[in-house]
Amino acid sequence: MPMIERRGPAVTVLAYDGMSVFELGIVTEVFGLPRPEFDRPWYDLTICAETPGPVRVVGGATLHTEHGLDVFAAAGTLIVPGVADVRADPSPALVAALRAAHARGARVMSICSGAFALAGAGLLDGRRATTHWRYAEALRTRHPRVHVDADVLYLDDGDVLTSAGSAAGLDLCLHVVRRDHGPSIANAVARRLVVQPHRDGGQAQFIEAPVTDDPADDRLARSMAWALGNLATPITVEVLARRAHMSSRTYLRHFARATGTTPIRWLIDQRVHASLALLETTGSPIEEVAAAVGFDSPVTFRHHFTRAMRTSPSAYRRAFGRA
């Protein structure tokens, strides 16, 4: 008997005139390429447009799709990778498609300026959402009912997910794979893409800043590398500053300029990130995990983990730990 191809969950992405193919490529790479190495149906991706036919993209090329908003709205996961103009309202047809899909339980996602389409459809009202840092103030002004968080790479609010600009869409797509299939498969996809399964920090580290040839930057980098190798030990600003041969005040200034955050905030994020692998792959008690990554108590660990991951360490382990 001939083998019957198992079709995975339907994902649709919306193409539009004037778009960059980068965001579309992210979605295609994660959800569209076959993954025969996994013994399970992969996603079934369809590229759609508001009007079926040719779609002009940046660079003078044209792609063609025969699928319109009816197919777009019928999927289990809908992705809006951007909008042509953040100052314009989404079309009534797109608003209706997004609302109908969401009402029947679909998962709706945006990348970069795509958040403006979701906001225009009312799907972000009363929710935390993000977009490219360049558009954050415009989103906040045009849609005051949206709680805009411009410092994160992506936000998962269950049935509605938003990401920051461009490459952060890859972080969000990998997060969705992780949510759907677990950390092992998400990590395998990330390796195929030659990217990290999870990036640390928020958008602040990418906001435009003057480029310098300051040798202090090398000393700063070395101190951060040392910290990453010694997370289980007590680390203070003073310790890091001594490693960089700076005063604490000078170190704080250079650190903020280079990363957009503080050394302590960065350390907490690194410790939370380091704990993920322990929660996923070991059965160590939470107290031991907390100590292994440098938190002085399980209570402190739980507090910072929940703030960063929007779930508790125990719940994370249940969702992503090995069976």
Rounded Cα distance between 1 and 20, Å, is 44
Classify residue 233: in a domain, yes or no: yes
Is there a single domain that holds both residue 17 and residue 137?
yes
pLDDT tens track for 169-217 = 999 999 999 889 887 888 889 888 887 766 655 554 444 443 334 556 7
Classify residue 208: in a domain, yes or no: no
Q: Which residue carries 């951007």 as its tokens?
A: 82
Classify residue 246: in a domain, yes or no: yes
The domain boundary, picked from 163, 193, 223, lies at 193
Greatest Cα pair distance in the chain:
74
pLDDT tens track for 11-35 = 999 999 999 999 999 999 999 999 9
Mean of pLDDT over the chain: 89
Classify residue 3: in a domain, yes or no: no
pLDDT tens track for 259-269 = 778 999 999 98
The CATH number of whichever domain residue 170 belongs to comes to: 3.40.50.880
Rounded Cα distance between 18 and 23, Å, is 12
pLDDT tens track for 41-63 = 999 999 999 999 999 999 999 99
Is there a single domain that holds both residue 91 and residue 40?
yes
| Number of separate domains in the chain | 2
Domain that holds residue 69: 10-193
Is there a single domain that holds both residue 105 and residue 154?
yes
Is there a single domain that holds both residue 299 and residue 160?
no
What secondary structure letter does DSSP report for 206?
A: G
What phi-psi label fits residue 302: left (phi over 0), alpha (psi between -120 and 50 degrees) or beta?
Answer: alpha
Using a cut of 0.75, tell me whether the model's pTM lies above it: no
What secondary structure letter does DSSP report for 124?
A: T
Classify residue 229: in a domain, yes or no: yes
The answer to whether 199 and 171 have CB atoms below 8 angstroms apart is: yes
The answer to whether 203 and 164 have CB atoms below 8 angstroms apart is: yes
The CATH number of whichever domain residue 240 belongs to comes to: 1.10.10.60
Q: Which two tokens stand for residue 131?
A: 């977009």
Classify residue 209: in a domain, yes or no: no
Is there a single domain that holds both residue 223 and residue 189?
no
What value does the mean pLDDT take over residues 113-125?
98
Is there a single domain that holds both residue 169 and residue 257?
no
pLDDT tens track for 106-117 = 999 999 999 999
